[in-house]
Structure 1
Amino acid sequence: MDAAQSRTAEADPAAAPAFRTAVTADTAAVVELIESAYRGDASRAGWTTEADLLDGQRTDPEGVAAVLAAERGRLLLAERDGALVACCQLEHRGDHAYFGMFAVRPERQGGGLGKAVMAEAERFAREEWGANEMHMTVIRQRDDLIAWYERRGYARTGRMTPFPYGDERFGIPRRADLEFELLIKPLT
């Protein structure tokens, strides 16, 4: 990228980021990004957070390492000017792909970056894996986030799975009724 393109990318927050697959050396930066987007006061700088639902961690180095080691998976990173600004997990599950561990730096939320990451994830799943659908699970109490996904073509299924209460690797719940809902989007 030349200097003029670099200035354009900085001036236009919706400009496409550079995408690449994460490697082991990215683990600490990915954990920091995910934690900043989901938990604690830092997450409140963005438009969406789990801080009102959960305390504790969202992930840890071991969780990220497991995603990196998954034979049928990929951890997609989005960077601007060499800085990590967003990420997502993709896992090939036969005729569909699973989308998870989605995080956008809180101060960068609301500017189109999340849409760009989702579009790249969907493109990759469709073109590289031949996936017909993208699946994801979202805490059903996150109405604003689910509405955002619905505007991007994801449909609620009503199929719920329980939150892993008692396993602090996924956070410390602030309420007793948390559960995940499966959302699906056709990719063809």
Structure 2
Amino acid sequence: MDTAPPQAAHELHYRDAVEADVPALVDLIESAYRGDASRAGWTTEADILQGQRTDPEGVRQVITSPGSRLLVVERGGELVACCQLEHRGDAAYFGMFAVRPGLQGGGLGRRIIAEAERLVATEWGAREMHMTVISVRDELIAWYERRGYRRTGRMTPFPYGDERFGVPQRDDLRFELLVKGLGPFAELG
């Protein structure tokens, strides 16, 4: 008999990904960013990139690399989201963020990013969270700005010709670094 309170099915459970999670994580990440399935959510990149967003080897590398973890988010035993956290000295890198498309827009992403920030600040002593976002993703960048991230204007080129990152549908793609101060350093960002 299940003795958990009814709300327990709606609580989020966070854990580090393991090798057995790789296929489900690839499916989740692909569904959030590429193809028609991604259009059910608002984070789709389907209009600017085709092809894959990641592959099993890319996910496995995040899981197994030193100083890196892929945080799995489950609700009611179902995989609903994930994000990459990488320790980079006084900063942490946030990437590979995916929320199941049908669950986007309901506050889940906000809760997950707040937990990721808390984890890197408390476990790694990170003073800042860094991420890169495709610079033409204005709506996504605005969402991060509402969460306290600031645009730096520091750009890196998109890896045109490397189909592991997708097939660009336009020629002006590049990544912009966004930064947020964490904990007592929040106002420094």
Q: What's the TM-score bracket when you normalise by the shorter of the two chains? A: over 0.9
Aligned equivalent of 1:141, options 124, 136, 144:
136
Pairwise CA RMSD: 1.0
Deviation beyond 3 Å, 4+ runs, structure 1: none
- Following superposition, the deviation at residue 47 of structure 1 comes to 1.6
Match of 1:122, SS state, is helix
**Equivalent residue for 1:82?**
77
**Equivalent residue for 2:180?**
185
C-alpha distance in 2, partners of 1:175/1:47? 19
Match of 2:43, SS state, is coil
TM-score normalized with structure 1 length: 0.94
- Following superposition, the deviation at residue 186 of structure 1 comes to 0.1
C-alpha distance in 2, partners of 1:29/1:98? 22
**Equivalent residue for 1:5?**
7
Q: Deviations over 1:108-153 (max 9, x none)?
A: 0011110111011100110000000000000000000000000000
- Following superposition, the deviation at residue 4 of structure 1 comes to 1.9
Q: State the one-letter code of the partner of 1:130.
A: G
Identity percentage of aligned residues:
70
C-alpha distance in 2, partners of 1:51/1:4? 37
Unpaired stretches in structure 1, ≥5 consecutive residues:
10-15
Aligned equivalent of 1:103, options 98, 106, 109:
98
**Equivalent residue for 1:37?**
32
C-alpha distance in 2, partners of 1:30/1:87? 8
TM-score normalized with structure 2 length: 0.93
Unpaired stretches in structure 2, ≥5 consecutive residues:
184-189
- Following superposition, the deviation at residue 170 of structure 1 comes to 0.2
C-alpha distance in 2, partners of 1:174/1:109? 24
